[in-house]
Chains A and B, each alone.
Chain A
Amino acid sequence: MIEHRDDLGDKMGMWLFIFTELLLFGMLFVVYAVYRSMHPEAFKLGGEELDVALGTLNTVILLISSMTVAMSITAIQKGKKNLALALLSITLFIAVIFLVNKYFEWGVKFEYGFQPGGAELLELGQGTILFFGLYFMMTGIHALHILIGIGLFIYVIMKINKDKIHQTDYVWLENTGLYWHLVDLIWIFLFPLFYLIH
């Protein structure tokens, strides 16, 4: 109806959305801090139960995916459509691999009965219950964001394919990139808090 284009405004909107995401996870970090200070020992032991190798792998591939999505934006700016599509496909692939890893990681925990309400977990004391409650909640909401990211990548790949996103109009891709960096950033905090601090 009303044609109106304002790339800077669109990006500002995305940044504001990122603020809301940071506050959403920020509150979970607050909850984490509260319970970690109440149960330092249980959180330490809980962290040792997690698979550091798998966590490190996911961290590395997620960082690479952040790089590839940033490179795809540069490619679009330079008019290299096929390169951008290739880079985005790599990003999409990595996002799926991240979730596959997560699936196996969670699967093992479920096998041992460490999921919320699991019989084994309930015997391990309150600190451990809280640790795994937070672990599943925080990595779960993060995984949900990865899933949304996958949807966004499919959408922008289709749009680039149809030349709806091109050299002079690529704010959709830029915003998707911003979102993906946020998802990456959250993981950068989740990883040490759960896997590394002992």
Chain B
Amino acid sequence: MSEANNAHNVSYLEYKGQYKGLFAWIFSTDHKRIGLLYLYTMLFFFSLAAILGLLMKTQLIAPGYTIMGPQTYNSLFTLHGIIMIFIIVVPGLPAVFGNFFLPIMIGAKDVAFPRLNLLSWWVYIIGILIVLTSQFLGDGPPDTGWTFYAPYSFRTPTNVLPAVFGAFVMGFSSILTGINFVVTIHRMRAPGMTWFKMPLFPWTLYGTAWIQILATPVIGITLLLIVAERLWGIGIFDPALGGDPILYQHLFWIYSHPAVYIMILPGMGAISEIIPVFSRKTIFGYKAIVLSTMAIAFVGYFVWGHHMFTSGMSGRALFAFSFLTFIVAIPSAIKVFNWVSTMHKGSLNMQTPFYWAVSFIFVFMIGGLTGLVLGSLATNVHVHDTHFVVAHFHFIVFGGTGYAFLAALHYWFPKMYGRMYDSGWANLGWGIFFTGFLTLYLPMFYLGYLGMPRRYYDYLPDFHGGNIISSLGAWLMISGIIIIFANLIRSARHGQKITEKNPWGGKTLEWQVDTPPTLENFDQIPTITKGPYEFED
């Protein structure tokens, strides 16, 4: 049994299975390799979409035609949105760190359905390829924005069909991952790991997985209806045939608002792992964080209407959606309170992951509070569809999920690769990125408040000043990203080797296994007797 022996002694990176080279990765059912497959796919597409964003900000550095015309601008923000939403942040942390660390953190050898897990990645890749064909085939790239609003999405001559269908296919990947994680968490926790001894990152993955299961089919059928509308003209959303385009918006946001929590919850989970480790303190209010996670997952279903305050709804519906939006802010605020309280009187260890986690809280607060501005009816009407909205969701989606992703990457990097990154470069990258981020997005709040609409390649000369600052911020932020990525890529290949199991002094199970983990993670499945964050030994 030399191979079984192998699986216990050799790291997952060096393990030789039945396939060689690239095939040893793309046909591997090992949850750790699949996590890295997602990571590489996402980093590639993130870089692509970030360049698109940079081009748009460069266009906006001056009024009028700078480097592109209106049609190019429209297709760029559409592709930027589709990639960033459907390819990056929706699969996001669950697909990368969930796959890699969920089994290890709950003391399992793999997820419940390893082959289904690999299938999810393949479905995801097929979805991406279908989306990409929209750029090259037919009558030019789609120009609808990532929301595919009816009736424009079936009236525009551009090639919307593959983009919509590709997003539909990627939904399957999301659902399959969600099913896999729920079953894994229910069935595969190590002996002694009761629900309330489970670390917080798996908890947030659990909440997220339920949203993936229960919300994704809604966008699936909605996108399918758009496909049918384009191909056969079934009339469901076509006002000329009696359909109601507002109904499309409802169905779209019934998924896409919970999807915001698919994006942010795992990020909150990762932050909840990092803060106690670098504060050397038990997390404050473990159960409050768990319950607020589940509360967000639940209430998040009932707030979709706040995306449609100006679309036409009854006054009573407006009131209800606005009220629920304020309710859903409470659990997020509870979490912020818990993180800050965990740091209070802690012995802070100022390392790269902690910088990312703290800056996450900072930008997430700004994003959250401006969300309340948008959730109130009166102010919403004033800033609806302006750059204020763009700034708000970049603070939440990029500032929230993006920062949490990079925090998690810097936190778990040594465990994943068995190598350490250069923390000097990492901190410098973080500093430049953080400054650039604020320079880029803060002026957009102001521009939006003054009335600069989103999704136009041009603007009135009055808005010039803010746009110059914002565009310079974009360049600064991209330089930060280049430093961060270059440092990580170099370190993954040539960084200083470490074999230490627990470089940060964490208490959760992933820090008790080998660095990098062996194929089966554990020689022996551990028995859990303590909570996940007991630092006061």
Which residues of A does B touch, CB under 8 Å? 1-2, 4, 6, 8-10, 12-13, 16-17, 19-21, 23-25, 27-28, 30-31, 34-35, 39, 115-117, 122, 125-127, 129-130, 133-134, 136-137, 141
Considering the complex, give the chain B residue whose CB is closest to the CB of A130: B242
11 A-B contacts (beta carbon < 8 Å): A8-B187, A12-B182, A13-B116, A20-B216, A24-B217, A24-B221, A31-B225, A31-B247, A34-B244, A129-B242, A133-B236
| B17, B178, B242: most-surrounded residue (chain A CB, <10 A) | B242
A130 touches B241 (CB 8 A): yes
Q: Across the interface, name the chain B residue whose C-beta is closest to A25.
A: B221
* Other-chain residue from B183, B217, B234 in contact with A27 (beta carbon distance below 8 A): B217
A1 touches B17 (CB 8 A): yes
**Residue in B17, B30, B183 whose Cβ sees the most chain A Cβ within 10 Å:** B183
Provided the pairs A6-B112, A20-B175, A127-B242 are in contact, do residues A116 and B232 lie with their beta carbons within 8 angstroms?
A: yes
Assess whether B186 is interfacial by the CB under 8 Å rule: yes
Binary CB contact string for chain B from 181 to 200 against chain A (1 if under 8 A, 0 otherwise): 01100111000000000000
Residue B110 CB within 8 A of the other chain: yes
Whether a CB of chain A sits under 8 angstroms from the CB of B29 is: yes
- For the residues of B in contact with A, the DSSP-based class is helix
Contacts of B224 in A (CB 8 A): 141
List B contacts of A136 (CB < 8 A): 232, 234
Q: Count B interface residues, CB 8 Å.
A: 45
A contact residues around B179 at 8 Å (CB): 13, 16-17, 20
Closest to B236 in A: A133
B220 at the interface (CB under 8 A from A): yes
Question: Taking each of B29, B235, B251, B520, which has the highest tally of chain A beta carbons within 10 Å of its own beta carbon?
Answer: B235
Indicate whether A116 sits within 8 Å of B235 (C-beta atoms), given known contacts A6-B187, A8-B187: yes
Q: Any chain A CB within 8 A of the CB of B45? A: no
**CB atoms of A13 and B213 under 8 A apart:** no
Task: Assess the B241–A13 pair: CB atoms within 8 A.
Answer: no
Q: In this complex, which of A10, A24, A127 has the most chain B Cβ atoms within 10 angstroms of its Cβ?
A: A24
B415 interface hit (Cβ, 8 Å)? no
B218/A2 in contact, CB under 8 A: no
Enumerate chain A residues within 8 angstroms of B232, measured Cβ to Cβ.
115-117, 136
Residues of B within 8 A of A117 (CB): 232-233
Nearest B residue (CB) for A20 = B217
Residue from A8, A13, A20, A116 in contact with B234 in the complex, judged by beta carbons closer than 8 Å: A116
Check if A23 sits within 8 Å of B218, measured CB to CB.
yes
Interface residue? B228 (CB, 8 A): yes
Among B29, B109, B186, the residue within 8 A (CB) of A12 is B186
Indicate whether A23 sits within 8 Å of B217 (C-beta atoms), given known contacts A2-B109, A12-B187.
Answer: yes
Which B484-534 residues have C-beta < 8 A from chain A?
Answer: 519-520
Question: What are the residues of chain A within 8 A of B29 when measuring CB–CB?
Answer: 1
